Structures are given as structure tokens and as C-alpha cells.
Amino acid sequence: MSRNPYFDASEAFRVCDLNQNGLVSADEIRYLMESRGFFISNQEAHSVAKKFDRNGDGVITYGEFMSEVRPKSPQRRF
């Protein structure tokens, strides 16, 4: 994603945070996917949320989201 010049991680989090409370739940992930024509089960939504939810509290914070979508190593400079 970091190689895509049009990807904005902050905007991606805002899109996922449907109720604008600063957190993303599995229900929000499922609803977001369904609103774009991708139907997933509750279990699948929880599985996605679990990948991002580092502290296991059941919701994804902005920091947790950024930790997953930002590059893990420095980008190479040419």
C-alpha cells in the first residue's frame, strides 16, 4: 500500500470508522465491506479485526491501524 501514491492511511482509517468514534469494530468492517458489494460473515469480520487489534480489546484504534498499514521497514531510496 505504501507504494501506491494515492493511498492515504489516515483517510483509510476515517473511512473504516463509520460512527466516527475513533475506533473501528468488526461490525464496522463487515458493514463497510457489504456496502461495497463484498459479503462476509461475522466470523470473517472478527478475524480481520483481530489482525489489527494488537491489545485484544475488541476494537481497532488509530495507532493499531497505522501499525498494520505502514511499512515495517524503511523504504529504499534510489
Q: Is residue 4 part of a domain?
A: no
DSSP secondary structure string for all residues of the chain: -TT-TT--HHHHHHHH-TT-SSEE-HHHHHHHHHHTT----HHHHHHHHHHH-TT-SSSEEHHHHHHHHS-SSPPP--
- Give residue 46's domain range: 9-69
Q: Is residue 1 part of a domain?
A: no
Q: Based on the structure, what is the number of domains in the chain?
A: 1
Phi, psi of 24, deg, nearest 5: -120, 125
Q: CATH no. for residue 22? A: 1.10.238.10
Q: Is residue 53 part of a domain?
A: yes
What are 21-65's pLDDT values in tens digits? 999 999 999 999 999 999 999 999 999 999 999 999 999 999 999
Q: Are strands 23-24 and 60-61 parallel, antiparallel or unpaired?
A: antiparallel
Q: pTM of the predicted model, to two decimals?
A: 0.81
